[in-house]
């Protein structure tokens, strides 16, 4: 494989307004509405993406019968210091699952849950 293994992610939600507030608050970003075909009836809000940087972007997705929670996949967001975003989880309506912890030479991680029951990871080198 000669490309980055992850090209996109989707986080399924039940309450888009609540989920948007959570992610915009925790990561201090503004999500952008994406158009979807009218017949699909999908509400999509994407995370900002710097096209000349490493990593993948993705979106919050609300659709009829769309699952949320359950954690079949764990997504890690890159942070300067994962403790900062972890500290924003509870005031933003989420939960702190695991405080910042060392993973040795690979840096640090923290785990939080969003307002929809999805657990997400936070990763930083500091």
**Residue 88: pLDDT band with limits 50, 70, 90:** very high
Q: Which domains does the chain have, with CATH numbers?
A: 9-124 (3.10.180.10)
Alpha helices in 40-97 (DSSP H): 82-89
Among 57-61, 72-76, 97-101, top mean pLDDT goes to: 97-101
Identify the pLDDT of residue 60: 92
Identify the pLDDT of residue 40: 74
Q: Checking phi first, is residue 3 left (phi over 0); if not, alpha (psi -120 to 50) or beta?
A: beta
Mean pLDDT of the chain: 89
Burial zone of 45 (CB within 10 Å; 0-12 exposed, 13-18 middle, 19+ buried): buried
Identify the pLDDT of residue 95: 97
**Residue 70: pLDDT band with limits 50, 70, 90:** confident
Identify the pLDDT of residue 71: 65
Q: What is the pTM of this model?
A: 0.85
pLDDT in tens, 5-54: 677 898 999 999 999 999 999 999 999 999 877 777 889 999 998 888 88
Asked whether the beta carbons of 62 and 41 are under 8 A apart, the reply is: no
Q: At what angle do helices 16-27 and 82-89 cross, to 10 degrees?
A: 140
């Amino acid at each position: 494989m000669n490309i980055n293994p992850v090209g996109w992610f989707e986080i399924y939600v039940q309450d888009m307004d609540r989920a948007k507030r959570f992610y915009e608050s925790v990561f201090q970003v503004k999500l952008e509405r994406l158009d979807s075909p009218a017949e699909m009836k999908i509400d999509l809000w994407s995370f900002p993406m710097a096209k000349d940087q490493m990593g993948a972007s993705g979106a919050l997705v609300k659709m009829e019968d769309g699952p949320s929670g359950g954690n079949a996949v764990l997504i890690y967001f890159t942070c300067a210091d994962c403790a900062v975003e972890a500290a924003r989880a509870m005031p933003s309506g989420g939960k702190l699952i695991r405080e910042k912890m060392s993973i040795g030479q690979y840096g640090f991680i923290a785990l939080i849950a969003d307002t929809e029951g999805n657990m997400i990871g936070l990763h930083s080198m500091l």
